[in-house]
Amino acid sequence: MSTEMTAKDVLDLIKKEDVKIVDFRFMDFPGMQQHFSVPAGKIDADTFSEGLGFDGSSIRGWQAINESDMIVVPQPQTAFIDPFMQIKTLVMTCNIGDPITGEDYTRDPRNIARKAENYLKSSGIGDTAFIGPEAEFFIFDDIRYDQTEHSGYYFVDSTEGRWNSGKDEGPNLGYKPRYKEGYFPVPPSDALQDIRSEMVVIMDEIGLNVEAHHHEVATGGQCEIDMRFAPLLEMADNMTKYKYIVKNVARKHNKTVTFMPKPLFMDNGSGMHTHLSIWKGGKNQFFGDGYAGLSQMALHAIGGILKHAPALLAFTNPTTNSYKRLVPGYEAPVNLAYSRRNRSAAVRIPMYSNSENSKRFEFRCPDPSSNPYLGFSAMLMAAIDGIQNKIDPGEPLDRNIYDLSPEEAAKVPTTPGTLREALEALRKDHEFLLRGDVFTEDVITTWIEYKLENEVMALDLRPHPYEFALYYDI
């Protein structure tokens, strides 16, 4: 749908398409979309200004039970007809507000992204931050997992998985990509071409601008679909639509999708390399005559990203599983350096297009488990801090990291090894996020406490299956 849609346009569309249900969606704190629906006849012009009430106490990381009333305020420019529902349904993404004060809710991730865009404008640095994420994911045929007091296991399967080369499939037709060799043979080795194409066609129908799709490096169904860059808030909205489409197309084919960064041992994990450029008055401020065709502003922005990367990863790589991807040997960007060539560097400057309009840098650490509103906003705030404080990114790392001497390699800082380390880095380094009231102390504290209690410490308490292999017979 057009980004120019107004409330009147949406109401007209409801009548024209004979929409029966309107679905209101919003993002919870950790990054999962939530929704509720109302009959289309209950929607009028006031809905777009006054919103609709709901109970916020059951939303992860949000209100306490004694202050649970909240409102959703639908945003007409996000409207689209749901391509999966049998009953004609129109979907809108919403902002979250306080019903008493009418103010935007500070823990609403979409509100944080809106404030990040406004802060960029108020800084004078630029008026638009363009974001281009490259989200990877796995399409599996089966997933089983459980954790009880006396057992714990997971089992994933894919007809593409190399581990099924010897399976009696009645018949087994072979063509299963070798480990780390899924990038990217033609069908029949790539068994997911039609499914990805269907995803792309539906994305196009609801207004997402897709540039390419392909199989990714890992065996067992790893895929990537790339969208063309868009302004930060719009792209965060688009990522929610992207995930919704990918998961539901897969389900239609009796398959399942995960954006979990590292579901397979000993093969590549799923990242979300994220491209950033800042524009002002229609001009790309990152284009220049410096290293790799970058401006001094862009180099300072890279300096900000690298300086704050350990804290930044608490939002861009927000799961314990994220750090099983960020390890050497799987094309993972574990080195906090920048380069126009080295894909193990956290920041890479793409060199396949050097025009003014395409010049940007790529932050390679993020993964698709992140809340896009928070991850993109934190990334922009780190870049702005680098520009404002003229942070020197140091020398580029254009040599193969494995060719460096031990002394040279020791000088290259690396990404945090665990989510706990990233959260502790965020606790110590978050002043750059507070500027313009984009993130608040409450948001930072709540994020750290939620992640530690519900994820880090919860995992620490549970025996791991591999611990039995290591220690049972001691």
What are the residue numbers of the active site? Answer: 55, 134, 136, 216, 224, 273, 343, 362, 364
Element (H, E) at 457: helix 457-460
Q: Which residue has the tokens 């639908």?
A: 74
Written in H, E and C, the secondary structure of 129-197 is EEEEEEEEEEEECEEEEEECCCCEEEEEECCCCHHHCCCCCCCCCCCCCCCCCCCCCCCCCCCCHHHHH
Choose among 230, 247, 239: nearest CA to 27: 239
- CB count within 10 Å of CB 366 equals 29
Query: Are 236 and 366 spatial neighbours (Cβ–Cβ below 8 Å)?
Result: no
3-class SS at 33?
Answer: strand
Tell me the helices (H) and strands (E) count for the chain, helix number first.
14, 18
- CB count within 10 Å of CB 173 equals 9
- CA dist 72 to 13, 98, 322, 358, 386, Å? 20, 9, 31, 37, 35
**Which tokens in the block code for residue 194?**
């039609």
Please tell me the distance from the alpha carbon of residue 218 to that of residue 325, in angstroms, as a whole number: 12
Please tell me the distance from the alpha carbon of residue 4 to that of residue 202, in angstroms, as a whole number: 20
* R_g of the chain, CA atoms, integer Å: 23
Please tell me the distance from the alpha carbon of residue 161 to that of residue 271, in angstroms, as a whole number: 19
Q: What 8-state DSSP symbol labels residue 395? A: S
Q: Residue 152 forms beta bridges with which residues?
A: 147
Sign, Cα dihedral of 70, 75, 76, 80: negative
Query: Are 369 and 259 spatial neighbours (Cβ–Cβ below 8 Å)?
Result: yes
- CA dist 280 to 112, 121, 283, Å? 21, 9, 5
- 442 half-sphere exposure, CB direction, 13 A CA radius: 11
